[in-house]
């Protein structure tokens, strides 16, 4: 890969990571706005926590996916070394674990169990 192409890929990776951060920040703002709207309406007040939490969780999941994508782009942009690939692997593992944990917390089931019914008493 030429030096210019590597620099371009590095910058693209940073842009994708920046988008991930913006998605997370936007989800915080959207979740807070949703929460205030739900709390203001007596008919929806009982759903405020659940809906706000779900909105925030979905935004965090999407942001994590973009952060992982940015890390991958930036790692392959330069000549990958065993060390940089190892660091990337650890980062991807941690973020994947966080994504799975959030998915279970939000939906009450593992991501690969999408077609199955939610267990009784599961997360709401």
Helices (H), 78-117: 82-107
d(CA 80, CA 10): 12
**Coil, strand or helix at 42:** coil
CB contact set of 72 (below 8 Å; sequence gap of 6+): 13, 88, 92
d(CA 54, CA 50): 6
d(CA 82, CA 22): 31
d(CA 76, CA 72): 6
When pLDDT is cut at 50, 70 and 90, the band that residue 118 belongs to is low
Tell me what pLDDT residue 124 has. 45
For the chain, give the percent of residues with pLDDT over 90: 26
Torsion angle, alpha carbons of 75, 110, 100, 69, to 10: 30
Tell me what pLDDT residue 72 has. 86
This prediction has a pTM of 0.73
pLDDT tens column, 57-104: 899 989 989 998 998 888 877 767 888 888 888 988 888 888 888 888
């Amino acid at each position: 890969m030429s030096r210019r192409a590597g620099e371009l890929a590095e910058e693209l990776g940073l842009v994708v990571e920046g988008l991930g951060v913006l998605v997370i920040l936007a989800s915080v703002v959207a979740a807070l706005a949703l929460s205030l709207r739900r709390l203001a309406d007596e008919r929806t007040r009982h759903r405020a926590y659940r809906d706000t939490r779900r909105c925030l969780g979905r935004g965090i999941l999407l942001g994590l996916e973009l952060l992982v994508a940015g890390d991958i782009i930036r790692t392959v942009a330069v000549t990958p070394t065993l060390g940089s690939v190892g660091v990337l692997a650890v980062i991807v593992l941690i973020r994947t674990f966080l994504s799975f944990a959030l998915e279970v917390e939000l939906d009450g089931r593992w991501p690969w169990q999408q077609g199955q019914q939610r267990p009784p008493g599961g997360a709401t």
